[in-house]
Amino acid sequence: MHRTARQTAIMTEITSSGSCSVADLARSLNVSGETIRRDIKRMASQGLLRKVHGGATLPGSLHEASFDQRMSQNAAAKKAIARAAAAHIADGETLSFDTGTTTAYVARALTARRDLTVVTNSLDIARTMAGTSRVFMAGGELQAELGASLGPVAAEFVAQFRVRTAFLSAGAIDAEDGLTDFDMAEAQFSRALIEAAERVIVVADHSKLGKRALVRACEIEAIDMLITDAPPPPDLAERLDEAGVVVEVAG
């Protein structure tokens, strides 16, 4: 594949998901990791993307624009997952959310519930839930491209609470590394939510299954339920079963 075509493909992948690892790009484009790293370096120097350890993300202005794009990608699957997730929540429950497009859909599906108490770092989710729920918004450094607060202050804020259910999105989830993310601060926040929750529900569409991102958020054993839109790959399905994770495929 010619360099221009390859870099166009890289840009398409990263615009679609917001970030990608070198390993995933090399595999999908059938080239070496070193080739991908050279492309990323060139593209970063042109301001097309931001180089991070092990991969690349969109620069802030483009990443912010991509939130709506990511909300529209696999939208039917995410809405089905959200409806299934909402069915597990009754009026009056205490919940927490990380930032992500699938958790944003879960928040929208829960607006018919009453007297919920919500802890989140997501501006979008806080706005969505504020009309019908009591909302606690984590402080810390605001990441404009994510529309969320992250960092030690956000993680420490969450540690003050004890909620019934934490809803987590996933950068990726695989049998070997469990739940992973592309950003260290996001992974740190996910771990804080897990520690503060009685039950952890991961909501992730099929594009995240059997994939691996840069930073480990948690082991499979930390998850109580995975709600997705397609059966996981065999190795991941086996690992989830071994760990006692309930898998629900939304239709």
Query: CB neighbours of 17 closer than 8 A, spacing ≥ 6?
Result: 70, 207
- pLDDT given for residue 66 in this prediction: 57
How many angstroms separate the CA atoms of 50 and 47, rounded?
7
Strands, E assignment, 113-196: 116-120, 133-137, 141-143, 148-150, 163-168, 172-174, 178-181
Q: 3-state DSSP call for residue 59?
A: coil
Give the rounded distance of the alpha carbon of 167 from its chain centre: 10
- Domain 74-249 adopts which CATH fold? Rossmann fold (3.40.50)
Whether the Cβ atoms of residue 123 and residue 103 lie closer than 8 Å to each other: no
| Element of type H or E holding 195 | helix 184-195
How confident is the model over 87-137, as pLDDT tens digits? Answer: 999 999 999 999 989 999 999 999 999 999 999 999 999 999 998 999 999
How confident is the model over 194-234, as pLDDT tens digits? Answer: 999 999 999 999 989 998 887 899 999 999 999 999 999 99
How many angstroms separate the CA atoms of 180 and 138, rounded?
22
How confident is the model over 154-202, as pLDDT tens digits? Answer: 999 999 999 999 999 988 999 999 999 888 889 999 999 999 999 999 9
For the chain, residues classed under CATH 3.40.50.1360 are 74-249
- pLDDT given for residue 74 in this prediction: 81
Which architecture, in CATH terms, is 3-66? Orthogonal Bundle (1.10)
For the chain, residues classed under CATH 1.10.10.10 are 3-66
